[in-house]
Amino acid sequence: MLRFLCFNLIFPILFCAGANVMIDLFSQASTIKFYKDGQELVLSTEEQEKFEDLFCQAIENSLEKPAYSVSLHDQTVEAMKEGFWVKFIFNQTMVKHEMPFDELLIHIEQDCHGLNVIRGNNGKYEGRCFYLDLEGTLDDVYNFLNQIEIETKQEIELESQEIKETNVEQENKHVNENENEQEKLNDENTIANKDTKAENQDNSSDEKKNIVINQNPYSEENLSKSQQELLNHLS
C-alpha cells in the first residue's frame, strides 16, 4: 500500500544556499509530489528532508540556460508513466520570463547533466520549458528515490503476505467451526437415532405381546361351544 503524505507549508518548502533566481522558484513551492511509473510515491517527513538535501546539492551552482524544449501535454502525461518524476506545486500562478506556471515538473534520470523544467499551468503541460545546466548529476537523487521505491515494494509484499496469512487463519477457523458444528449435529443425530431405535423396540415388544394374547388357544374366541361348556363345568 502506498502511503499518502503532502507538505503544505506557509514557509518555503525547499531552501538551497547560494541558489540563483531559477532555483529560488523551487523554494516557493507549497507541495512536492513524487511519482514512479505513473504511481504516486509518497515520502515520510524524514525522507522528504533527505530528498531536499540531495536535490539542493544536485542543483547547487547550476546555471540557467535558454531552453529549446517545448512540452506537449499528452506526451508529457504519457512520459510520466515511466521513471521517477517530481512535481513542485505552487499556491498561486508564478511568472518567469513572461511564462506563467503553477507547477514545475522534472524527470529524475541517471547520468543526467542537464535538467528540463516543464511548466504546468491550469492542469496543462504546454509550451516552452526552463533548463538548468547542472554542475554534477542527479544520480544521488535517483538512487535515493529508487531505494524508497524498493522499500515500499517490500512493505507492500510484507503487508500482502500478512493479509494472506490472516485470511488463511480465518478460513481455517471457519472450517474448524463448521467441523465442530457438523460433529455436534452428528452426535445429536446419533442420540436421536438411538431413541428412535429404542422406541421402535418397545413398540415391537408390545406388538409381540398382542400377537401372543391374540393367539391364546384358551381364549373364548378360539374355543368351540362344547369346549366352553366343558370348561365352565370344570370351573
Largest CA distance in the chain: 148
73 in a structural domain: yes
209 in a structural domain: no
22 in a structural domain: yes
**What proportion of the chain, given as a percentage, has pLDDT over 70?**
64
- pLDDT at position 18: 47
226 in a structural domain: no
| Cα–Cα distance measured from residue 121 to residue 127, given in angstroms and rounded to the nearest whole number | 10
Neighbours of 223 (CB within 10 A): 14
**Domain that includes residue 160, residue range:** 1-198
Tell me the residue type at 135: E
CA-based nearest residue to 51, from 148, 150, 152? 148
**What proportion of the chain, given as a percentage, has pLDDT over 90?**
39
| Cα–Cα distance measured from residue 120 to residue 159, given in angstroms and rounded to the nearest whole number | 36
CB of 2 closer than 8 Å to CB of 39: yes
Q: Does the predicted TM-score (pTM) go above 0.75? A: no
164 in a structural domain: yes
Instruction: Identify which has the larger pLDDT, 2 or 49.
Output: 49
231 in a structural domain: no
234 in a structural domain: no
DSSP per residue over 80-104, as a string? TTSSEEEEEEEEEEEEETTEEEEEE
In this predicted structure, the answer to whether residue 89 has a pLDDT above a threshold of 70 is yes
The mean per-residue pLDDT over the stretch 127-156 comes to: 84
Query: In this structure, what are the phi and psi dihedrals at residue 70, rounded to the nearest 5 degrees?
Result: -125, 125
- pLDDT at position 170: 75
30 in a structural domain: yes
The mean per-residue pLDDT over the stretch 128-145 comes to: 93
- pLDDT at position 43: 86
Q: pLDDT for 171-185, tens place per residue?
A: 777 767 777 777 777
Number of domains, the chain: 1
Angle at 104 between CA 98 and CA 106, to 5 degrees: 130
